[in-house]
């Protein structure tokens, strides 16, 4: 059998290596139009910043590695320019010599990946404008910085690549401005979490402009959609990617709703001997089963392995994804998995939301707070999605949550997880346990939650009780219209409150607010809510005007 793969980064090399593991007799070759193969795209921003000194560290494997270890032939700087599906042949161009030749396949894997989205902006092709996708882009950006010593930079886009590049340009002492066309940063976060992150970044001195696009790029400046001009010796466009589907489309391979290649659970396209994997394909949500486009290295490796297995007769099949992602920005870690509040509502779920602010370790072990926003389905009690912003311990929690969501855990099950505990690693009840307890109490225990957004938009006649100390109430600000009754004196002041009115309790982060909610409910108050995430999240998620 002759297997040909197009594309030699994450998905293509995974597919080829798995095929070889299953079949030692197949002839396997890969065509790659780029110079580099099997590199870590995810490490490129850190090469630009200097944390990774040598680009070779990101390209540990070359063609000879695959030849020696896997008996796989990789031809770099060879572009597949045409596929003939009837003859099962390919037209290939050697980009070094210009030679064009034919090859054939029994099974073909399309792993052509994705390319940066290039918006229609005047000046987008100028020398100081860069897109970051591959090793050569990263080297070109770093060379530009060393040669031209730019003092100012503009980054368009606030996805993970925009932020990672921001941090790394700041290592070069540049004055950097982030420009985002949407009214919120970071596509994977809900509005409230995005604003929370934004407020943290503003405190760290990050320059951020939202609801503005880049309209024009000149030699040393950019003009924004509202006419504002920014100095920019360097411009980085981090405005997302689009799947490379031209070859697939040209031979009638079906594209899905998202515009990427449609495959079945074995990565097979509508042409049975042609498989596709990685950033060029559409996958599906493990929660809703609906098509999604998730161009991530984690998914590319997985779908590549499945393609390599399937085309050699293996039994692996794809089980969907949660879009789990994580990135670092200064000392912050931002992570998400599953459905956001916005997505869960769009899917028609009736949801419960909690904002849980907890340290990852005890304070005597320098525990640092993280904010966990969790979304659950009220009807089935299933956990649907989680977003976390914190400093330490975020990576561990997001992976526990992703595992829980994968196995369809209900919120009551979280508390019963036997998680590892010792003070250098976590708290006796882990933030994951607390998240489950809060959601379960809200859904099944009558301990209703209200979000900061809901309370801001509430028009009904409600009584809001701030149960923090008098000092906190006076010095740290309070929720509009709140009265202050510290928790310790709540029982003696019950007579001053109207038990029939909708009542909201809150403290700093939610724990004492819940204790006060319990007191009121036990004394016959009918409709009592605790403010999710307390005053801290209320203030943190408030848009600065």
Ligand X SMILES: Cc1cc2nc3c(=O)[nH]c(=O)nc-3n(C[C@H](O)[C@H](O)[C@H](O)COP(=O)(O)OP(=O)(O)OC[C@H]3O[C@@H](n4cnc5c(N)ncnc54)[C@H](O)[C@@H]3O)c2cc1C
Answer yes or no whether residue 111 interacts with ligand X by CB under 6 A: yes
E strands in 96-148: 100-104, 107-110, 114-116, 129-131
Q: Give 383's strand partners.
A: 376
Question: Is there a contact between 386 and 374 (Cβ–Cβ < 8 Å)?
Answer: yes
Beta carbon nearer to ligand X, 34 or 377: 34
Stretches 31-39, 168-176, 307-315, 456-464: which one binds ligand X (CB under 6 A)? 31-39
Reduced to 3 states (helix: H, G, I; strand: E, B; else coil), residue 299 is helix
163/506 with CB nearer ligand X: 163
141: its two tokens = 């950006």
- Is residue 276 near ligand X by the rule CB under 6 A? no
For ligand X, the binding residue among 232, 247, 322, 334 (CB under 6 A) is 247
Please indicate whether residue 42 is annotated as part of the active site.
Answer: yes
Question: Among residues 41 and 308, whose Cβ is nearest to ligand X?
Answer: 41
Q: Does 132 bind ligand X (CB under 6 A)?
A: yes
Question: In the bound complex, which residue of the shown chain has the CB atom lying closest to ligand X?
Answer: 113
Q: d(Cα 541, Cα 535) in Å, to the nearest integer?
A: 10
Closer residue to ligand X in complex, CB, 138/452: 138
The yes or no reply on residue 296 touching ligand X (CB under 6 A) is: yes
Of the residues 279, 282, 352, 430, which one makes contact with ligand X according to CB under 6 A: 279
DSSP 285: B
Helices (H), 311-353: 341-346
44, 109, 322, 357: residue in contact with ligand X (rule CB under 6 A): 44
Within residues 204-243, the interface with ligand X by CB under 6 A covers none
Q: Does 442 bind ligand X (CB under 6 A)?
A: no
**34 lies in the site for ligand X, by CB under 6 A:** yes
Q: Which is nearer to ligand X, 174 or 409 (CB)?
A: 174
Single out the residue of 39, 37, 35 nearest to residue 57, CA to CA. 39
Indicate whether 260 belongs to the interface with ligand X (CB under 6 A): no
The one among 20, 133, 142, 535 contacting ligand X by CB under 6 A: 133
Pairing of strands 207-209, 214-217: unpaired
Residues 6+ apart with CB under 8 A from 424: 361, 365
Which of 45, 308, 486, 513 contacts ligand X by CB under 6 A? 45
The span of 10-18, 264-272, 339-347, 437-445 binding ligand X (CB under 6 A) equals 10-18
Residue 11 contacts ligand X per CB under 6 A: yes
Q: How many CA atoms lie within 13 A of 319 on its CB side?
A: 6
Please, what sign has the CA dihedral across residues 133, 187, 293, 375?
Answer: positive
Q: Which residue lies nearer to ligand X by CB, 256 or 445?
A: 256
Using CB under 6 A, which of 3, 4, 5, 10 touches ligand X? 10
Nearest partner of 243 among 309, 306, 303, 310, judged by Cα: 303
Q: Is 199 in the site for ligand X (CB under 6 A)?
A: no
Q: CA-based angle 270:12:247, to the nearest 5?
A: 50
Nearest to 519 by CA among 509, 505, 532, 508: 505
Rule CB under 6 A: is residue 90 a binding residue for ligand X? Answer: no
Minimum CB–partner distance for residue 497 and ligand X (Å): 51
**Cα torsion 317, 323, 329, 332: sign:** negative
Which position among 3, 4, 6, 193 is part of the footprint of ligand X (CB under 6 A)? 6
List, in sequence order, the alpha helices (H) in 416-532: 431-444, 452-456, 470-475, 511-522
Kindly state the number of chain residues that form the binding site for ligand X, as judged by CB under 6 A: 32
Burial 476-505 (b: 16+ CB within 10 A, else e): eebbeebeebbbeebeeeeeebeeeebbbb
Q: What 3-state DSSP class applies to 146?
A: helix
Closer to ligand X at the Cβ: 96 or 491? 96
Catalytic residue among 42, 277, 280, 507: 42
Q: Write out the residues near ligand X by the rule CB under 6 A.
A: 6-7, 9-12, 31-34, 41-42, 44-45, 79-80, 111-114, 132-133, 161, 244, 247, 278-279, 295-298, 300
Catalytic residues: 42
């Amino acid at each position: 059998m002759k297997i040909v793969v197009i594309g030699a980064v994450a998905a293509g090399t995974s597919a080829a290596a798995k095929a070889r593991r299953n079949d030692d007799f197949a002839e396997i070759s890969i065509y790659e139009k780029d110079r580099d193969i099997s590199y870590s795209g995810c490490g490129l921003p850190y090469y630009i910043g200097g944390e990774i000194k040598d680009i070779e560290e990101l390209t540990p494997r070359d063609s000879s590695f695959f030849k020696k270890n896997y008996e796989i032939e990789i031809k770099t700087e060879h572009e597949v320019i045409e596929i003939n599906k009837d003859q099962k042949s390919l037209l290939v161009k050697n980009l070094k010599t210009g030679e064009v030749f034919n090859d054939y396949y029994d099974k073909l894997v399309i792993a052509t990946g994705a390319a940066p989205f290039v918006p229609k902006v005047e000046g987008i092709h100028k020398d100081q404008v860069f897109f970051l996708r591959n090793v050569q882009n990263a080297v070109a950006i770093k060379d530009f910085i060393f040669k031209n010593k730019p003092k100012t930079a503009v980054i368009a886009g606030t996805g993970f690549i925009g932020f990672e590049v921001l941090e790394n340009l700041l290592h070069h002492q540049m004055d950097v401005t982030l420009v985002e066309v949407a009214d919120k940063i970071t596509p994977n976060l809900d509005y409230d979490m995005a604003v929370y992150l934004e407020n943290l970044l503003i405190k760290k001195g990050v320059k951020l402009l939202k609801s503005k696009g880049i309209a024009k790029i000149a030699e040393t400046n950019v003009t924004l959609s509202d006419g504002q001009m920014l100095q920019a010796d360097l411009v980085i466009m981090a405005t997302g990617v689009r799947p490379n589907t031209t070859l697939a489309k040209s031979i009638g391979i079906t594209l899905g709703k998202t515009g990427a290649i449609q495959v079945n659970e074995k990565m097979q396209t509508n042409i049975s001997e042609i498989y596709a994997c990685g950033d060029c394909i559409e996958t599906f949500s493990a929660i809703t089963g609906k098509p999604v486009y998730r161009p991530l290295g984690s998914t590319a490796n997985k779908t590549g392995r499945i393609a390599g297995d399937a085309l050699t007769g293996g039994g692996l099949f794809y089980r969907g994804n949660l879009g789990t992602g994580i990135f670092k920005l200064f000392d912050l870690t931002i992570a998400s998995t599953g459905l956001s509040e916005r997505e869960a509502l769009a899917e028609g779920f009736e949801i419960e939301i909690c904002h849980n602010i907890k340290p990852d370790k005890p304070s005597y072990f320098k525990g640092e707070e993280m904010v966990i926003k969790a979304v659950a389905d009220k009807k089935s009690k299933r956990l649907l999605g989680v977003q976390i912003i914190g400093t330490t311990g975020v990576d561990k929690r997001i992976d526990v949550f992703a595992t829980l969501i994968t196995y369809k855990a209900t919120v009551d099950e979280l508390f019963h997880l036997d998680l590892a505990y010792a003070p250098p690693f976590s708290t006796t009840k882990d933030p994951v346990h607390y998240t489950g307890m809060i959601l379960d109490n809200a859904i099944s225990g009558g301990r209703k939650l209200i979000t900061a957004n809901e309370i801001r938009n509430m028009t009904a006649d409600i009584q809001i009780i701030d149960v923090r100390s008098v000092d906190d109430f006076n010095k740290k600000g309070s929720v509009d219209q709140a009265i202050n009754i510290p928790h310790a004196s709540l029982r003696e002041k019950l007579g001053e409150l109207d038990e029939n009115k909708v009542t909201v309790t809150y403290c700093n982060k939610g724990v004492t607010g819940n204790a006060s909610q319990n007191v009121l409910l036990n004394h016959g108050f009918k409709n009592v809510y605790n403010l999710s995430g307390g005053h801290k999240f209320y203030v943190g998620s408030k848009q600065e005007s």
